[in-house]
Amino acid sequence: MSDEFVTVTREGQLTILTINRPEASNALNAGAQFAMAAAFDAFADDDEQWVAIVTGAGAKAFCAGHDLKQQAAGGGLVTPPTGFGGLTARKGFNKPVIAAVNGVAMGGGFELALACDIVVAAAHAAFALPEVRVGITALAGGIQTLPQVVGRKHAMGMLLTGRRVSAAEGLAMGFVNEVTEGDVLEAARRWAEQILAASPMSVRATKEAVGLGLSTPFDQALVDQWDYPAMKAMLASEDHIEGPQAFAEKRAPEWKGR
């Protein structure tokens, strides 16, 4: 599926979502917000799609956040129930998502990247939460997520000033996994290929356990993880049998995703 705001392509079990508003630095207006939400809904519901990459059209911007021109015109900050870009407030979503940050990621655009599991950035990419400079705050998860990822001091240094951070500094701070001088989408595909080589059931169980474990005391998380839905599904799956069997037979596993 694709529309005027979002282009969706599928390459085997990989879905690529491209924000398609390069003339507006891929800022999301109301139409783009709900198009992104619908695209992520389709990915989440498709059992044959195991990993997603989100990126922006053109070389200038990944996503410049909310379309402030829409807000200035009285349109407000329209966000779907699943959060900015249909991702930042999505609950119970255990499929991995990779951000291929091809340019600036500002405000909600940075929060969208933070909501992804892996961030691959072009060398010229830049990140910021500049909301305080325009009289708003980072309400799409940035205030909560950034301190968890980089620590309070680094997070406050960005949140209170709105300053831009380069891809290289983002790598040093810990919210970027890889910086590339080459094609950022190709770099993201390489990460996706590594994930796709693993059992999707195990990948989803791992993502679920990490997410739920962040808000649970360690000793309790060790106990609770056995009852997490994706973990129980993995333990009861064909993949749970196939993995050890393929290892014993010295062959590549044939994952079913069930």
Q: Which of 111, 144, 115, 153 is nearest to 128 (CA)?
A: 111
Residue 18: its H or E element: strand 14-19
- 26 close to 63: Cβ distance less than 8 angstroms: yes
Burial 212-238 (b: 16+ CB within 10 A, else e): bbeeeeeeebeeebeebebbebbeebe
Residue 14: its H or E element: strand 14-19
How many DSSP H helices and E strands does the chain contain?
A: 11, 10
13, burial (CB in 10 Å: exposed 0-12, middle 13-18, buried 19+): middle
Catalytic residue IDs? 111, 131
Most distant CA atoms of the chain, gap in Å: 64
Query: Which DSSP symbol is given to 242?
Result: H
Q: Which of 61, 62, 65 is nearest to 133 (CA)?
A: 65
